[in-house]
Structure 1
Amino acid sequence: MDKIRIGSVGLGRLGLEHAKNIATRIPGAELVALCDIDTEKLHRVGKELGVRHYCTTFEEMLAIKGLDAVAIVSPSALHCTQIAQALERGKHVFCEKPLGTSLEECRLAEKAVEAHPDAVFMLGFMRRFDESYRYAKEKIDAGEIGRPVLFRSYSQDPISCIDGAIAFAPHSGGEFYDMSSHDIDLARWMLSSEPVSVYAVGGCYAYPEFAQYEDGDNVSCLMKFKNDAMAFLFAGRTAPHGYNVETEIIGTKATLRIASVPQKNLVEILDRYGVRKECSENFQERFAQAYLHEMEAFVDCIRSKRKPSVSVYDGTAVSVIAGKCTESFRSGKLIAI
């Protein structure tokens, strides 16, 4: 089979990561088109990656002859409409999380996927492709930790990225959609269950700019799942030490911890500050291999004509839960799911 010809929309931090992976690191794939409204960035990145087609609208990219698939890394509110448009034009679709920022948007995407059963649709929950998380999932499924009791997950962005978070706030859907989607997906995946209730709290502790969007800069929630397991999630935008994602799963027989001490690598620095380890600076660095593995899986699904392990329904479930977390955060009430 010839190379899978892919066009990618959105050249933000993650869009750039996906574009580079498709163009330079994935055998069997070819990045033939880029789409972004920033024409200066579009042509600069396109020239760097050797892309033939430069588009400023999604519709223009879909019209390119011979395009097999698209990677959607655009603002969250555009995802579901672009998914439907791409599938209707006969393209395979990879889309970044969240699937949508409302149930109505997610249903639109579901109907589009169902109407095109021969097309490959994959949602970008990249932590499922991280080697440490996959290893932990195997341990849980094998019964090695006994019955899961508590899932705890922290996602903290470095304060150095706060300007980008504020700029993205008007169309992010809120911190539970923007940051906690990955944690929600991991909880469902690792606990093999669905939540039945959620109570969320938080606020604008350092940046009141988020308040105008009924959002916070640090939020948390407690969930109860159908199998009686508990989950505690925390999302923060003001970590002074760097990018920090850590997860713990407590079972009746054992506990699993993933990156409980965030670190850039295995190097220890001994200097006038003492003995210390550096943290990853951003999500691209921490999950570089996971982003590569998930795009490899997408391309392999197209070539082998199989369905990905992450479905559109996973995306809907996570978005619904994120919405309930947001509702609880704004109302201060316990919300049933």
Structure 2
Amino acid sequence: MKMVKVGIVGLGRLGRQHAENLAFRIPNCELSAVCSVIPEEVEQAQKEWGIKYAYTSYDEMLNNKELDAIFIASPSGFHCEQIEKALNAGFHVFSEKPLGLYMEEALRVQEVVNKHKDQVFMLGFMRRYDKSYAYAKKKIEEGKIGEPYLIRCYGLDPAKAINGFMQFAKNNYSGGLFLDMAIHDLDLARWFLNVEAKQVWAIGGAYGYPEIAELNDAETGTALVKFEQNKMGVFVAGRNCAHGYHIETEIIGTKGTLRVGTIPEKNMVTVFDESGAVKECSDGFLERFEQAYLSEVEEFISCVREKRQPNVTVEDGVLSTALGYACKESFETGELITVQSPYKVPSSN
């Protein structure tokens, strides 16, 4: 296969970035179709980028047999159904995280993926493709910090993005703080520690924006996770970070510590003015992980062309969803949740 022809569904903030990458920055790839339920988004993308096909119906796009792959960047609640339909229609599939908002649907998707072994399926855990996180993983595998036993993660969205989030959440697209935001950190914890979660206790609240509590969600939340082999995880996620987008990870081992993003710098520039010496922060996830979003899609296209499966699997999606769902349940009930099995819905302890 010389050129992989892709159709993308979802042209919101992240979807549009993915679409631009597919159209202009990915070797051996052609963005042949765009799809959105918002006609203006479809018209704009087709006109600006010269896309051959444009749809407001996902099912109609799946009837286009010129396409080789479907890229899913729609809101989280649509992922499972769209993954199933695309695989059953014979396409290779890339889906943004999370795999699903509920364990039952995540497990159903896993069954469908496993029935289509000849088709590539990849989930968008892009931090694994960030150069700094990949380097940290390499150091762990080399034994640089001994045996890792604790991971601490901060995932904080900038306060200026709160209005956009509120619109997203009111449409029931979010899935809650832990499944929407912390899912990346939960996946990294499994990746770095190389174990699965056993118990979860999560707390949080709506401190600067009480209206978030009306959505049965937290503005800022914290989860304490006990993993296999008595390893530990501390996860802080929030939507009201005054200084910008702050993503920080610390992995502590028996012989040392690794830290990624301790100071969330925009770049290497220091601004000296009446405010003093200022290191600006990233504006958001699209800026901070620009390279990672590009690298993960390059890997997907390479997998399709080389007829191989990526390292990020549907099982990673199921296991991370199980942990995220357990965090959500603990926050909502105030109880300690035992993750009894990767393939069973967590229950109260």
Bin for the TM-score computed over the shorter chain: over 0.9
The C-alpha deviation readout for 1:216-264, integer Å capped at 9, x for no partner, is 1101101111021110001110011111101010111111010100010
Partner of 2:36: 36
Partner of 1:201: 203
Q: Structure 1: which amino acid aligns with 2:81?
A: T
CA distance in 2, matches of 1:73, 1:166: 19
User: Which of the residues 288, 292, 296 maps onto 1:294?
Assistant: 296
Spell out structure 1 runs of 4+ moving beyond 2 A: none
CA distance in 1, matches of 2:311, 2:246: 26
Partner of 1:178: 180
Partner of 1:114: 114
Partner of 1:256: 258
CA distance in 1, matches of 2:101, 2:36: 21
1:2 aligns with 2:9: no
CA distance in 1, matches of 2:285, 2:162: 14
Alignment of 1:1-337 (within 5 A): 1-169=1-169, 170-337=172-339
SS at match of 1:34: strand
Partner of 2:342: none
SS at match of 1:93: strand
SS at match of 2:230: coil
| Structure 1 runs not aligned, ≥5 long | none
Moved more, 184-193 or 158-167: 158-167
CA distance in 2, matches of 1:65, 1:251: 50
SS at match of 2:234: strand
CA distance in 1, matches of 2:254, 2:276: 37
CA distance in 2, matches of 1:8, 1:289: 20
TM-score, scaled to structure 1: 0.99
- CA positional deviation for 1:334: 1.2
CA distance in 1, matches of 2:107, 2:149: 32
Q: Structure 1: which amino acid aligns with 2:7?
A: G
Q: Structure 2: which amino acid aligns with 1:252?
A: T
CA distance in 2, matches of 1:98, 1:209: 24
CA contact (8 A) 1:126 1:294 kept: yes
The C-alpha deviation readout for 1:135-161, integer Å capped at 9, x for no partner, is 000111111101212101111111111
The C-alpha deviation readout for 1:30-83, integer Å capped at 9, x for no partner, is 000000011112111222122111100110111113110010011111101111
| Structure 2 runs not aligned, ≥5 long | 340-349
TM-score, scaled to structure 2: 0.95
CA distance in 1, matches of 2:203, 2:278: 32
CA contact (8 A) 2:4 2:69 kept: yes
Residue identity over aligned pairs, in percent, reads 50
